[in-house]
A and B are shown apart, each in its own frame.
Chain A
Amino acid sequence: MHDVSVVSHVTRKWWSLFTLPIVLAFAFGFIVPFIIGIYLSFTTFTTITDSEWVGMDNYIEVFKDPVFLHALWFTALYAVVTTVIINVISFFLAYMLNTAMRGAKFFRSIFFLPNLIGGIILGYIWQLLLNGILSHWDLSLTLSAKYGFWGIVIVSCWQSIGYEMIIYLAGLQNVPQELMEAAAVDGASSSQSVFHVLLPLMMPSITVCTFLTLTGGFKVFDQNLALTGGQPSNTSAMLALDIYKTFYQGVGTEGLGQAKAVMFLIIVALVAVLQNKLTTSKEVEA
């Protein structure tokens, strides 16, 4: 600890070659726009280039904006619903495909495939399919936020289940087989051994997967844009889409959009921290 090794002593002299390119790019692509972003959230644009300081006004307006407040609970509901559905189904698929089922490898490839297709493309594929089904009752995705909501849930599940399944499969392969066998010998039923032996051992994978689906759920944008575009009248717009629209479809609303973006960041960060605390506390060692 105290004596610096030869390697770190010599390496430190090379900081510019090894870190400067990425640090400079990072400053331009992240740090500077981040700081400007925070500054802009306290300003309002008077002309295209001029802005003036307005203090907390934008933030007060954010909490008075019915579209934003609606988007907030709409997104929270969506994130929770997708997290539950995606994790339950992908865990089940991984559990089944981890057995010696014939064709398991092939099925794994099929379930993963939609994940490679981008959200915009997926949105259009499902728009055709879901509107085709809904048209039997003279309905469509953009008729009510209810249809849009479940439409986006379906698209996201179809996209993400394969991804989380892969992570669960990797987790399952690390669970010592003897533990499951020992539980069976001790007379545990198969559901008992899943819930009392397997699930506690799988908590690290469950932490990762719920983290990814929950934060991903809050950040959803592409599927929302392509499937409903927020229709009807912004009632199916999630937070990210509402922020985007505030920036680019209003006049002089950049400050408000930026204040919404800051709130969005705080919400996502809080959710990430809380989720990590909650599931990490349930982890056990094999």
Chain B
Amino acid sequence: MNMKRRISGVWTVIFAIISVIWMFPILMVIMNSFKKKTAISISPFAPPTKETFAGLSNYAEALEKTDFLWSFVWSLFITVGSVLLMLVFTVMCAWWIVRANNVYAKFIYLLFLISMVVPFQMVMFPLSKMSDMAGLNTPWGLWLLYLGFSPGLPVFIFTGVVKSLPSAVEEAAMIDGASVPRIFFNVVLPLMRSSIVSVAILQTMWVWNDFLLPYVTLDLQQFKTIPIAVQVFKGSYGTTDWGAMMGCLVLTIIPILVFYMLCQKQIISGITAGAVKG
């Protein structure tokens, strides 16, 4: 028993060391964000000294050069809107597919499944042209593009959940004369709460970090998301402004950390739900 506990203690120490190494890249970015531009690329591993300490100037520059706050607002606006729309419409459709179970239902389900394998590059060019022509190159236009491009995984997860719900309750409500929308919103939705939260988390992580779809569809003169804004510091031919870049990277990581601390449990269960076997 004593031996076992000691071995477990040794592993705790080993894992503690691995954890520090694991976090090193992030710690290093935070450290460098307080150093002067020239000191960052010359000696990225050295802690700031009196001469190289830059205070908050990198952050000020990052905020000024990228319009970081606006990028944050647009990222948030795009993510919240598209995730909410996606949830409402995919959960409705998934329930209908399972309960109606006719040829049309099976056909659209099959199309949704197929779409999960298709890489974005396949539709990238036509989609960017179409969204330009239809005036959807705006943050609210992206709501529709996300809704249209990626309902596959949510529909797939939700149909799996609906199949596990007994339809007896819904049948009883129907015999009592409740309308279909009423049954769906009052009886079915509450039962699906935990899977809806899981899918919301998965979609949020994806849309928030997605770079390519907004990059090829948004009107970049007016709107930038955070992953797009970071690119500002990377000039052509390797002339990266590392000072402002470090400030910007830290500013990007902070909201992610807050989100992680608030929703850790839901994130874990979201990933487990998303990994249902195909």
Contact of B260 among A6, A102, A113, A207 (CB under 8 A): A113
Bitwise, A206-222 to B at CB < 8 A (1) or not (0) is 01110110010011011
Chain B residue nearest to A222 in the complex (CB): B211
Q: Which residues of A contact B267 (CB under 8 A)?
A: 112, 116
Chain A residue nearest to B270 in the complex (CB): A166
Minimum distance in angstroms from A218 CB to a CB of chain B: 8
Complex Cα gap A213–B29 (Å): 27
Is A31 on the interface with B (CB-CB < 8 A)? yes
Complex Cα gap A126–B28 (Å): 10
Q: How large is the interface on B (under 10, 10 to 19, 20 to 34, 35 or more residues)?
A: 35 or more
Is B140 on the interface with A (CB-CB < 8 A)? no
Q: Which residues of B contact A120 (CB under 8 A)?
A: 209, 211, 227, 230-231
Is A278 on the interface with B (CB-CB < 8 A)? no
Q: Which residues of B contact A109 (CB under 8 A)?
A: 260, 264
Best-surrounded residue of A18, A109, A110, A262 (most CB of chain B within 10 A): A18
Interface-facing stretch out of B51-59, B141-149, B190-198: B141-149
Interface-facing stretch out of A63-71, A76-84, A189-197, A264-272: A264-272
Given contacts A22-B90, A116-B256, contact A12 B102 (CB under 8 A): yes
Q: Interface residues of A: mostly helix, strand, loop or mixed?
A: helix
Complex Cα gap A120–B245 (Å): 12
Is A243 on the interface with B (CB-CB < 8 A)? yes
A11 and B259 contact, CB distance less than 8 A: no
Given contacts A26-B151, A167-B275, contact A128 B40 (CB under 8 A): yes
Given contacts A29-B147, A120-B231, contact A11 B96 (CB under 8 A): yes
A21 and B89 contact, CB distance less than 8 A: yes
Complex Cα gap A173–B88 (Å): 32
Q: How large is the interface on A (under 10, 10 to 19, 20 to 34, 35 or more residues)?
A: 35 or more
Q: Which residues of B contact A118 (CB under 8 A)?
A: 208-211, 227
B171 and A6 contact, CB distance less than 8 A: yes
Bitwise, A68-104 to B at CB < 8 A (1) or not (0) is 0000000000000000000000000000110111110
Is A147 on the interface with B (CB-CB < 8 A)? no
Interface residues of B (CB under 8 A from A): 8-9, 11-12, 15-16, 18-19, 22-26, 28-29, 32, 40-41, 43-45, 89-90, 92-93, 95-97, 99-102, 104-105, 108, 111-112, 115, 117-119, 121-127, 130, 134, 144-149, 151, 155, 167, 170-171, 174-175, 180-181, 184, 205, 208-212, 216, 227, 230-231, 234, 238, 240, 242, 245-246, 249, 252-253, 256, 259-260, 264, 267-268, 271-272, 275-278
* Interchain residue pairs with CB less than 8 A apart (7): A36-B126, A109-B260, A114-B25, A118-B211, A207-B277, A218-B119, A265-B122
User: What would 4 more interface pairs be, CB under 8 Å, given A19-B93, A101-B8, A268-B119?
Assistant: A8-B102, A121-B252, A129-B28, A265-B117
